[in-house]
Each structure stands twice: as structure tokens, then as C-alpha cells.
Amino acid sequence: MAPTSSSATPIHRSSSRPQLDLSGAAIQGNIEERDPTILLPNQSDDISHLALDIGGSLIKLVYFSRHEDRPTDDKRKKSLKERLGVSNGTRRSYPILGGRLHFVKFETRKINECLDFIYSKQLHRGGIDPRGWTSEPQVNENAIIKATGGGAYKFADMFKERLGVSIEKEDEMNCLVAGANFLLKAIRHEAFTHMEGQKNFVQIDQNDLFPYLLVNIGSGVSMIKVDGDGKFERVSGTNVGGGTYWGLGRLMTKCKSFDELLELSQRGDNKEVDMLVGDIYGGMDYAKIGLSASTIASSFGKTISDNKELEDYRPEDISLSLLRMISYNIGQIAYLNALRFGLKRIFFGGFFIRGHAYTMDTISFAVHFWSKGDAKAMFLRHEGFLGALGAFMSYEKHGLDDLMAHQFVERFPMGAPCVGGKIHGPPLGDLSDKARNPIFTSKNILFADYNSERGHDSREEDQTIIISGVIVHHISWMEKFVQKGTEILAPVPMAPPGTTGLGGFERPSSKGETLRSDDAALNVGVLHLVPTLEVFPLLVDPKTYEPNTIDLSDHSELEYWFTVLSEHLPDLVDKAVASEGGTDDARRRGDAFARAFSAHLARLMEEPAAYGKLGLANLLELREECLREFQFLDAYRTIKQRENEASLAVLPDLLMELDSMSEESRLLTLIEGVLAANIFDWGSRACVELYHKGTIIEIYRMSRKKMQRPWRVDDFDAFRERMLGSGGNKPVPHKRALLFVDNSGADVVLGMLPLARELLRPNLSVRLAYTQNAENNFKGNCPNIHSGIPCLARYVVLVANSLPALNDVTAIELPEIVAEAAKHCDVLRKAAEAGGLLMDAMINIQDASKDDSSSVPLMVVENGCGSPCIDLRQVSSELAAAAKNADLIILEGMGRALHTNYNARFRCDTLKLAMVKNQRLAEKLVKGNIYDCVCRYEPAS
């Protein structure tokens, strides 16, 4: 591809493409579902959820699938959304369905496997409901799918013949830029640098994204200056690219594949063929101009003086010399073009890179060297799918243009770290229901070897292969995984840092004995599109917010936490299997889960950045996602129910004890109660050992008796003064308090609910300070259920997990717990009735909302996650709406207040409460010991 310059036009949007007809749009099925499917009764055109980039070597495929099998909502949630003004989290005039973006690759020479895959999922017809996948969709002769790349022309007839669809071709460069812009704006930690074997992720402010240089290295190289969406220009290029490397390498080494040539380079020593500065200057540096002895003076220059034939040189050395020659050349030309236009950011992508560590190191070194460190080479995790993504976005009304990073969650299915976890077959119905699984005929049987890492929906199980009407074999993805799932791909070994000097690579830091394959190197998961996720509005600075307190870039820290998770695994598997009745099927799934999660840990231990920037919160969420992959939806369900019942039985006595105290004593006792109740955590080995010595209630009582101040972190006095006042200072009631609850059982029942009750009850100290002057100020601003008598907080919002994680209480479970607790407490009963948390008060909810849509003293909202930790960059739209008027946050528990958010700063008063149940965390975070208490109060920033 010779260097040229041309102006760009925006992505072509043909009027012939399918359009969304929104007339008569209605929710299909239960209108109270969390993300209900929207039925378009007048839709005449098929809406494709598939786009392809068909290159000469690889077919890259991006497809969309709707979220399925979400739990249904009840009337409370519908009423809550109305009260909070939440409209399904969308600001668009057309429906955006929650779902997943999948990334799949096939070798172009195996295009029939790609066609079989598309047919099996009916992707060319907009996808199908996995529960009714066997029904034959109605054929639409006008159906089209979008594609880019040379194969869009070459294989158009094959798509028409096999799938009955026409290919609408999109300009390749338009798609590359559109795909890159989308990734850089919408995906957190998409871009990274790669120097000396170290991958470092870079978060780019989308408001400061443009301009940048996009260098696409295919057979040739195109260099594109990108100034905005649809605004770009090809400013340069070179015909020395990936094709040059592969072509010359094939001639000189007799390699049969591009990967084989790259693998040879891993074992090469370029000084055997390259002329170095030291060869010219007797082994010395040329220090005057900053060149070390190891700098390449002339690629292949040493072969001039050697009296050797081609066969006398090692293919490994030739391959490495070629790779460095071409990579350095591309890096230098890219930098010169960046310098020409004053660009600091250069993004590299294309088939040539393929996630190959040494290639990225070489390019990075060249840019760093020639710019003297002023410019950086950056790479994209999804770089292999830029064209396919751009083609996918060219469909009108997909609604991806204005989606933000907080609305995408990347998850890695169970097969991601494994070679042997191949998955075949149709979408999973029921693991135990073989009758529901489909039968493939020889016409549409899917033989393609693709694994769940490549974006295939991992909830897939069985396939009966039929040849000439005879059942040959019954394949189960789980059986294959159990058999093969522990075959971990060997990563590229990393040499210690410091092996690279300004003069060049003395020893390539990313060299090793094995090369990770292209499929493994591009570790991209499934992008879950959740339009109802938002950034928590009370963060002081969302751009600098980092949820993780523990730095897992420290290898010893990483090793410690991996050991903790591994040691906890057998107990977790036991609980998970028991939650499913201990059946043979449950044990089989438990074994498979253990293998899958262990494989993930082993993969990440070898290469921590394999799945993106790694934090403890990510690890814990990966564990929960892995459980759900194997259909363990709530491993601690039975345990939680038992603990809730035991705690509710003693709640009346606790409330009676609290009511006998003065307000100041009661507030201290309540905070002590929260800390004591937080002692137990099924994720803590020490706590599990405690549990074997007594019941949760006994442990709670023991913890209460040992509560002694000062605590390790003790800001209680400052918190008490803010809540109750001191001296002549008059306390100002909070408008709305957000209480982030943690565990089921004693934690929520005996800890957080009594605290919520205290915030809502008539408060003597506030009442005494409630002068006539203050009364005039408070009128209309602080009404309550107690005849207008002020309380510590006007409204209380209990924030709980959307999905189960260990023994954490969920937003679905919490209303029932509140209802049971309310039987013993008039304050909770009245507040819960007004908030619609009691079933017998449901008939009054709608009427109450008409009077004052925000006057809900007590409500429950979900936080949008299913992990023991919480990333406040991605919370539910309900929580974001509830937080807008909040002026007090109480974060409780190790996961939410220590593992994450301990250093977070908020625009309102914040109290962080937790008992430390991990010795390592105690030493690192609070310089203390296990079972130390943290009561950290931070006034509004």
C-alpha cells in the first residue's frame, strides 16, 4: 500500500438498509421485567445483529445477543422507578436493548465453518430466542448483513447462496476509524502501552481523544489522522508491512504460516545477521550520538561480509532480524508522521501485531527512541476487530454512538483461559434436560472449533451428531471442559525489566520458548451492554476514581490473594453443590466450576494483564461470574435464609435494649453493633473457622463483648458530633442517607437495620435544637412519619447487590427481611409501608406516589453489581437517581469499604465501617491486626 493522501467521508448510510419501525412498540410479556424485550409489531425488515470483516487470513465477526433469563421485577421496583424518575436508563427516543457484543474469529480458508456458525445462531436474521431456536424463521429475501474487507466482495455470492442474505459492503478505512473511536470512547482500559514486556493500561478522557494517529498494519501500512467521528484523513503509509515480513520470511525460512514465522523469532538471535554499532566500532558504543553497541546499524548487514549461503543461517535468526527491521521501520515512520501533525498519541493495530508481545515491544521502542520519550506507542485490546466493529456500527439505530464506558462490562466466560475448552452446539436450555437439546442434520451441523473466549455464548451444552440418520456421538461442553479444561496455555515468558537500553534490545524482553497463539493473545471477552448503568453522581472526581485499594501489580500481593481465593475454593464448591441439592449434576458442575476458576487464576498468575487491568474487585467478580456460568445462581441461599431467621428471632430483644439507652449511648452502641455484626464473612478463612466453633449469633455476641475503643481507625466522635451536635452547635438533619449493606444474617438484621431505624426515628437532640427559627427553615424540607418531629435523616435508602455474591444480601431479598423486622418495630413498619416494602401496603403505593413522588422514608435499591465489591463507576440507574439528593453515605463491609472505596472521596458526608477479617489487609491498609475495626468518617469534600 503505497503512501498516498486522501480525504475521508463519514460512514455510508444507505437508505436500503433495514429501518426500525417503532409504531405500536410495546413491551413483550411481563411489563415488570428488569430489561423487558420490546416488541415491534409493525417491523417489516429484519434487523441484523451481525457484521463481519473478511480479510485474506481471518474473518472477524461481531454479533449482538439480547440478555436472556433476567429475574422479573415486582410492583415495588416499578413504583420505585416512578418515584425516582428512572425511565429504564435510556435517554434515547428509540429502544436500546440490553445485551452482549460477542467477538469471534475464523480462518478465512475455513469460511464454511463461519457460515455454519452464523446459521446455527440465525445471526443473519437478527438472532433467535435460544428457547425456541429450532423453529425455522421466515425467510426475507431482502435481508442484508454488513461486511468490510476484501472478502466482502469475494464471498458475496457464497453468503447469498448459503444464507440467503446480501452483503452490503462498507468502506474498510471508514470502519477501522469508527471501530477505533467506539472502543476508545466506550471501553475502559481499552488502550495500553507495551514496553519491556510490561503492559500498562491507559485510560483516555474521551473529551481529549482527538486528534490521534491510527496506524493499521496489514499487508501494507496505512497511517490515518483521526480528528473526530467521521473526520479522518489517510496522511501516509508504506508498502513495507506485514505482507513484507510474511513474504520474505516464507522465502527465506520455508515457514508454512505467519504464526510459525513469529514463533521462530522467539528463539532467534539477530546479531548473527544484523550489523550492530559495536561491529563497526570494535565492540564500543558510539556515545557521542547516543548509540549503544547493540544498536542495529544495518539490518542483515553482517551477511555482506560472511562467506555463507542462505541455508547456513538459522531460520530463527532470520525471522527475528526481519521482524525487528520491519517493526522499527514502521515505528519510525509513524513517529515522523505524528511529529508532522503535532500528535502525541499513536495507536497501532492490524493483523501484523496480533497481540504478539515482542512485536509491540519493538514498535514501542522505536517510537520511544526516535521521539526521545515524547511520544508513546499504544495498542488496543480489540484491535483485531476494529473493522468488524465499524461495520456493525454502520447499522442505523443500533444506538451505540453515545454509549459510555460505564455502560459496558467485559466478562470472560469459563473457557477463556483454556486450550481444551472447545464448545460446540446450540444455546443451552437445561443441563439436565437432554430432550430439549437440538439435533443437527448433516446440512447444518456445526463442526467449527471455537471456544467461549472468542465471544461464543458460553451457556451452551450438547450436540448430537447425526450422519446418515445414525447418532454417532453426544457431546457435552462441560464434559469436554472437565476432561481438557486444565490445559493452560503457556504464556510468553517475561524477562526481568531493564534488559532494554536506549541503544536497542540486548535481549528481547518478551522472548520465550513458546508463542501464545493469536486467539489466546487477543484476550477479549464478551462486552455486556447495560444501558441502565451510570456513574455514581456523588464521586468527587469520577475521572481519577480508582475503586481498588489493593495494588495487584505487586507480584507478591497478587500471589497472596490468588492463594486466598484458591484455599477458599473447596468450601465454596461445597456450598454451591449443596445449594443445588447435592445432586450428581450439581457435583459435576461444581467440579467443572473449580477447574474453570482455577484455570482463570493460573492464567492471570502468569499474565496479570491478560484480561485487562486487574484489581481485587475484578478477581472477586470473576469468581461470581464463573459460578453463574455453571448455573450456580446463589451458592449461599440456604445459609442466608438460616442466618436471617436466627437473627430476626433476637432482633426484638436488641431493639428493646437500644430503646432503653440515651441517644448518645445508643448511637455508639449502634455503630458497635454494625462492626460486631460485620465480623462474619464466608469469604474469610478465619471467619469460617470461627463459624465451626459456634453459631453466627454466638459469634456476634462474642464480638460485641470485645468491642473496645479506640478502634484501629476511630472517627466516631466526629461522626457523633455531626449527627447529634455538641455544645452550642445545632445538628442539621441529613436529607437522604444511602446505606450500602453487606452480608445477610446478623450483619444486616442486627447491624444495619437498627442503624437505619435510628436515622428514621424521632430524635430528641434534634428536637431540642429545633427552635422556631430553625422550624421556619425546615418547614417543607424535612417532613417525617412522626408528626413532623425531625430525625437524623429524612429518607433512608438501603443499597444492596443486584445479584448474589457469597452471603451478601440482595435487593430482591432485602424487602422481605425488612418486612419481618417491621413486625417488631413501629418505626420500621411505618417507614416500610410508606416505601412500599410491606406486601399488605401495596394497594396504597400508587396513591401515595401521586401526592409526593419523593416522600419515601425507607426504600431498597439495587447497586447494579453481583460482587462483594462495588465499582462506583458502574451503578444502577436507580441508585444513581436515589443518590442525587443524598448527603450521607454509609459504606459497610470489607468489600465495599476496604477492598474498594477506602480511598474514594465523595461530595457528601461519608462513614466507612468494617471489621478487618484478613491479616494481610489489616497490615497493608490500617497497619493493624485481624478483627481490628474501621470507623472512618469523612465530611463532604
DSSP symbols for 64-86: EEE--SPPBP-HHHHHHHHHHT-
Beta strands at 144-148 and 166-169: parallel, antiparallel or unpaired: parallel
Cα-Cα-Cα-Cα dihedral sign, residues 629, 519, 387, 122:
negative
Give residue 67's pLDDT: 61
Q: How far apart are CA 278 and CA 3, in angstroms?
A: 34
Task: Return all residues near 739 (Cβ < 8 A) that are at least 6 apart.
Answer: 752, 755, 756, 796, 797, 798, 799, 890, 892
Residue 396 cell numbers, joined: 442505523
Beta strands at 99-107 and 526-529: parallel, antiparallel or unpaired: antiparallel
Q: How far apart are CA 342 and CA 329, in angstroms?
A: 20
Q: How far apart are CA 44 and CA 141, in angstroms?
A: 12
* Domains parsed from the chain with CATH numbers: 26-175+395-411 (3.30.420.40), 191-380+492-505 (3.30.420.40), 431-490 (no CATH), 637-938 (3.40.50.10880)
Helix, strand, coil percent values for the chain (each to nearest 5): 40, 20, 40
Give residue 512's pLDDT: 37
Give the other-Cβ count within 10 Å of 612's Cβ: 21
* Helices and strands of the chain, counted as H and E runs: 31, 35
Contact 125, 144 (CB under 8 A): no
Task: Return all residues near 176 (Cβ < 8 A) that are at least 6 apart.
Answer: 214, 216, 224, 349, 386, 387, 390
> Which residue reads 476494529 in cell numbers?
386
Kindly give the residue spans of alpha helices, DSSP state H, lying in 745-874.
746, 753-760, 764-768, 772-778, 814-822, 826-834, 845-851
Give residue 605's pLDDT: 87
Preceding peptide of 211 cis, ω within 30°: yes
Which residues of the chain, if any, have pLDDT below 50?
1-47, 69-73, 88-95, 128-137, 417-522, 687, 764-788, 839-855
Give the other-Cβ count within 10 Å of 572's Cβ: 22
Give residue 462's pLDDT: 35
Task: Return all residues near 105 (Cβ < 8 A) that are at least 6 apart.
Answer: 58, 59, 60, 61, 384, 454, 518, 519
Q: How far apart are CA 356 and CA 376, in angstroms?
A: 18
> Which residue reads 491507559 in cell numbers?
202
Give residue 475's pLDDT: 33
Contact 108, 57 (CB under 8 A): yes
Q: How far apart are CA 183 and CA 381, in angstroms?
A: 9
Give residue 824's pLDDT: 87
Strand blocks (E) in 229-335:
231-238, 275-276, 296-298
Preceding peptide of 41 cis, ω within 30°: no
Helix (H) or strand (E) holding 349, with range, is strand 345-349
Give residue 402's pLDDT: 66
Contact 534, 875 (CB under 8 A): yes
- Exposure pattern of 340-377 as b/e (b: 16+ CB <10 Å)? eeebebbbbbbbbbbbbbbbbbbbbbbbbbbbeeebbb
pTM, to two decimals: 0.78
